[in-house]
Amino acid sequence: MKNILALNNADGGVGKHTCSMELKTSTEIEKMRVAGKILAEVFEVLKSKIAVGVTTKALDHIAFTETKARGGAPAFLNFNGFPAVICASINEEVVHGVPDAKRSLKEGDILSIDMGVVYDGYYADSAMTLPIGNIAPQAARLVEVTKRALDKAISLMAPGVFLGDISNAIETTALENGMNVVKEFVGHGIGRNLHEEPAVLNHGQKGTGIKLKPGLVLAVEPMINLGGSEVEIQSDGWTVVTKDKKLSAHFEHTIAVTENGSSILTLA
């Protein structure tokens, strides 16, 4: 679940950026790691269930059951009125797709699943884009580039690094491959709340924004489009789609900045 780029302290990665960051203790980070482990395990189950003909509502039910079985709670369900456990976004849908019992996966689709888990009062957030059967080469390349953008961003995370460097790495990866990042929706800080400061944009300039500090935990989430960057919200009030109806992919991890670098919390 994304922050809309109307955050008071988001400056587009340009110039001075001040915000109230809440640094987490080692105890708090370990609670978030438990939430992240639950989330990663649920994702592994979902991967095994995804197939042609499966409905997005069925996947939502699986996610709910598997999360509760592991002692976690769904973070998105009823958050700001969202009616489901997962966001299930297909093809040109960028984020916030609402699971539907009448919507079945088809050969050649790409499916983005975004999900959050809360455990003992602390949150984790993650997303992945998966192929359904055999997909077109350009779709496969989009998925690969989006995953690479996230990996590049994570590789840079360490104390003293500018937040703008993270944003720039995502945008540069997209542009170098003839693709575009979504600018209206962003990553975010995370901890005792699903959305915290700072906003983590998918575009920006090196050497700008806040400097990362140990204890800062971020949900970094490239959203990359095969076509233009423009998006619009569908009539359901939730589903975000590319304006040109070209494909979009989405990956996300929750990452803690450590004394020596960073640690991904959303791993099994």
Per residue in 160-205, pLDDT (tens digit) is 999 999 999 999 999 999 999 999 999 999 999 999 999 999 999 9
- Among all chains, which residue has been given the structure tokens 């080692």? 26
Which pLDDT does position 141 carry in this prediction?
A: 98
59: left (phi over 0), alpha (psi -120 to 50) or beta: alpha
Distances in Å between the Cα of 190 and the Cα atoms of 21, 35, 47, 107, 235 are: 10, 12, 25, 35, 29
The two tokens of residue 65 are 């059951």
Cα-based angle 118, 123, 126 (whole degrees, multiple of 5): 100
HSE at residue 245, side-chain half, CA atoms within 13 A, is 0
Cα separation, 249 vs 139, whole angstroms: 9
**Class of residue 47 by CB neighbours under 10 A (exposed 0-12, middle 13-18, buried 19+):** exposed
Domain extent at residue 139 = 3-264
Which pLDDT does position 7 carry in this prediction?
A: 37
Query: What percent of the chain is modeled with pLDDT above 70?
Result: 93
Q: What is the pTM of this model?
A: 0.93
- Is pLDDT at 5 greater than 60 in this prediction? no
Q: What average pLDDT score do residues 138-167 get?
A: 98
Tell me which H or E stretch contains 154: helix 137-156
The sign one gets for the Cα dihedral 7, 8, 10, 12 is positive
**Strand duo 231-233 + 240-242: pairing:** antiparallel
AA identity, residue 88: A
Mean pLDDT for all residues in the chain? 93
For the chain, the domain total comes to 1
Which pLDDT does position 220 carry in this prediction?
A: 98
Query: What percent of the chain is modeled with pLDDT above 90?
Result: 92
The two tokens of residue 173 are 């990866």
Q: What average pLDDT score do residues 124-146 get?
A: 98
b/e for 8-41, b at 16 or more Cβ within 10 A? eebbbbeeebebebeebeeebbebbbbbbbbbbb
| Residues 262 and 29: beta-carbon distance below 8 Å | no
- Among all chains, which residue has been given the structure tokens 């009823």? 78
Domain with residue 64: its CATH number is 3.90.230.10
Which pLDDT does position 10 carry in this prediction?
A: 32
**Class of residue 260 by CB neighbours under 10 A (exposed 0-12, middle 13-18, buried 19+):** exposed
